[in-house]
């Protein structure tokens, strides 16, 4: 029978293990993160929009060489550059992504609605790099695209914890979570001049009012820019 001290030491070791390597995936495979409630469960915080430099730092915080690093990079860009919900991203199969066409097919979105999402070439390239490594590991095409190194499904809590680790590694002070990356995606599309109805389709919103709530995050930036354009002489 393990002592309380040995159990405490084991927990400390698990929390200190670095993300982006084989140990990370083994820990997930053993189920130590599965079913664990999040630290903020039951609390609601407003989404914090990342700047472009913060988002790039978050992606680059994962290893560009290790299998789990490539997987985590691809998953982050699907959330950030594709605007998918976490459950939608984890449900993707390899056949749902056409990197050459820059498209992701979401078969069962919220409300069981299907949609096709666009993704930029750089993000598609990161997804393709993970898909190629996934095939080299001998993982078949029928399982989830974002999987453990033995082909098993990833847990949502694993992803949330992983984003927290990448946030710290990237030196980002804002909260980083899947829905925040989705809000960041919507804010960037609006800043680039996308019409609200296209943003609605990209995000899979049933109502344009929901999209409007997302787009309010860019209001302070637009307000400041409009104020700077005003002319006044003292």
CATH number at residue 89: 1.10.443.10
Say what the pLDDT of residue 217 is: 64
Q: Could you tell me if residue 120 is inside a domain?
A: yes
Spatial contact of 221 and 191, defined as CB atoms under 8 Å apart: yes
Query: CA-to-CA distance for 61 and 57, rounded, in angstroms?
Result: 6
End-to-end CA distance of the chain: 79
Tell me the residue range of the domain where 104 lies. 46-224
Whose tokens are 């790099």? That residue is 129
Whether 123 is in a domain gets the answer yes
Q: Is residue 75 part of a domain?
A: yes
Is 86 contained in some domain? Answer: yes
Q: Is the pLDDT of residue 81 over 80?
A: yes
Partner residues linked to 98 by β-bridges: 103
Q: How many CB atoms lie within 10 A of CB 108?
A: 11
- For residue 216, what pLDDT is reported? 77
Q: How many angstroms separate the CA atoms of 151 and 138, rounded?
A: 9
Number of compact structural domains in the chain: 1
Cβ pair 94, 134 in contact under 8 A: yes
Candidate from 26-40, 120-134, 154-168, 185-199 with smallest mean pLDDT: 26-40
Q: Which long-range contacts (CB under 8 A, 24 or more apart) does 179-183 make?
A: 179/47, 179/85, 179/86, 180/47, 180/48, 180/49, 180/50, 181/50, 181/55, 181/76, 181/79, 181/80, 182/47, 182/79, 182/83, 182/84, 182/85, 182/214, 183/47, 183/49, 183/214, 183/217
Task: Let me know if 181 is exposed, middle or buried by CB neighbors in 10 A (0-12, 13-18, 19+).
Answer: buried
Alpha helix (H) residue ranges in 137-207: 156-170, 178-191, 196-203
Take residue 52 and report the two structure tokens written for it: 């472009």
Q: Quick one: average pLDDT of 79-88?
A: 97
Overall average pLDDT of the 16-40 stretch? 46
Is 30 contained in some domain? no
Beta strands in the chain (DSSP E): 97-98, 103-106, 115-118
Closest of 165, 146, 160, 166 to residue 35, by C-alpha:
160
pLDDT of residue 128: 97
Look at residue 1 in the predicted model and tell me its pLDDT: 47
Cα–Cα nearest to 88, from 73, 110, 69: 110
Inside any domain, residue 137: yes
Average pLDDT, the chain: 83
Residue 55 lies in a domain: yes
Determine, yes or no, domain membership for 85.
yes
């Amino acid at each position: 029978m393990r002592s309380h001290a040995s159990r405490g030491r084991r927990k400390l070791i698990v929390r200190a293990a670095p993300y982006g390597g084989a140990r990370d995936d083994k820990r997930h495979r053993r189920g130590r993160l599965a079913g664990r409630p999040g630290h903020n469960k039951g609390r609601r915080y407003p989404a914090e929009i990342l700047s472009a430099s913060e988002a790039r730092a978050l992606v680059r915080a994962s290893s560009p060489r290790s299998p789990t690093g490539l997987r985590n990079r691809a998953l982050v860009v699907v959330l950030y550059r594709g605007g998918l919900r976490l459950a939608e991203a984890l449900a993707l199969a390899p056949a749902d992504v056409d990197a050459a066409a820059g498209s992701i097919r979401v078969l069962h979105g919220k409300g069981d609605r299907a949609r096709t999402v666009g993704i930029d070439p750089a993000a598609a390239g990161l997804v393709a790099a993970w898909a190629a490594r996934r095939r080299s590991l001998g993982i078949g095409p029928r399982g989830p695209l974002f999987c453990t190194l033995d082909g098993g499904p990833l847990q949502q809590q694993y992803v949330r914890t992983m984003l927290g680790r990448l946030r710290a590694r990237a030196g980002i002070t804002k909260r980083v979570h899947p829905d925040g990356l989705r809000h960041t995606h919507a804010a960037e599309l609006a800043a680039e001049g996308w019409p609200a109805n296209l943003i609605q389709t990209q995000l899979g919103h049933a109502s344009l009012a929901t999209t409007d709530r997302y787009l309010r995050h860019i209001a302070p930036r637009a307000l400041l820019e409009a104020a700077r354009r005003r002319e006044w002489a003292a």
